A and B are shown apart, each in its own frame.
Chain A
Amino acid sequence: NAGVMQNPRHLVRRRGQEARLRCSPMKGHSHVYWYRQLPEEGLKFMVYLQKENIIDESGMPKERFSAEFPKEGPSILRIQQVVRGDSAAYFCASSISQQETQYFGPGTRLLVL
């Protein structure tokens, strides 16, 4: 059973470009969570999605960030007009239900030049 998959693993963008991060949950998991880890910091919750629904986006910056989890295909975290402060590791996790253990993917390391 494949684990949570994320791609790309590394992404380099120049300021002002867009970044798209993809996450495929574990098989059978319909709950997806995105977390961000800034350098030397703990992981911070960003958003929680179920298929076609955003359940909780209280951790998302108000501007430039959006997330989706379509009926078909992976969940996407989109960052428009990236700035240097967006440089971080972005981890996706999935669970079989809201109460169950969250399993993390390998992360996408975003570097904004």
Chain B
Amino acid sequence: RKEVEQDPGPFNVPEGATVAFNCTYSNSASQSFFWYRQDCRKEPKLLMSVYSSGNEDGRFTAQLNRASQYISLLIRDSKLSDSATYLCVVNGAGGSNYKLTFGKGTLLTVNP
């Protein structure tokens, strides 16, 4: 099983659509969870951390289920500028809290 596995995508949605990304992780010792976005040929940028109680930041909602080792990201009312690759990221590899493990990412294209 891959350490972090994401929907392979790509996702093509119209503006205004709601889109959901799923992610599973294998390391039950992971303590921190994140969604990053990566624009084409750019660096990953932190979108939001994911907390056990779930958290929301504007149009973005993240959920974590520790029992199932599952993370999700929901984007509501998607904008053209949301087009990017979304990376599911967890820490805890090798017992460390600094070693981030990235999924391969899910490409989202929002169309006008």
Contact = CB atoms under 8 A, between A and B. Distances in A.
B94 A107 contact: no
Contacts, number: 54
B45 A42 contact: no
A58 B101 CA distance: 13
Interface size class of A (residues with CB under 8 A): 20 to 34
A33 B99 CA distance: 9
Given A104-B43, A104-B45, A106-B43, A42 B98 contact: no
A44 to B, nearest CB: 8
Contact of B44 (A40, A43, A44, A98): A43
Nearest to B104: A42
Interface size class of B (residues with CB under 8 A): 20 to 34
B43 A45 contact: no
A42 B99 contact: no
Interface in A91-113: 91, 95, 98-99, 101-107, 109
A31 interface: yes
Contacts of A106: 42-43
Given A95-B98, A102-B98, 5 more contacts: A42-B105, A56-B99, A98-B98, A99-B97, A105-B43
Interface of B: 4, 41-46, 49, 87, 93-94, 96-105
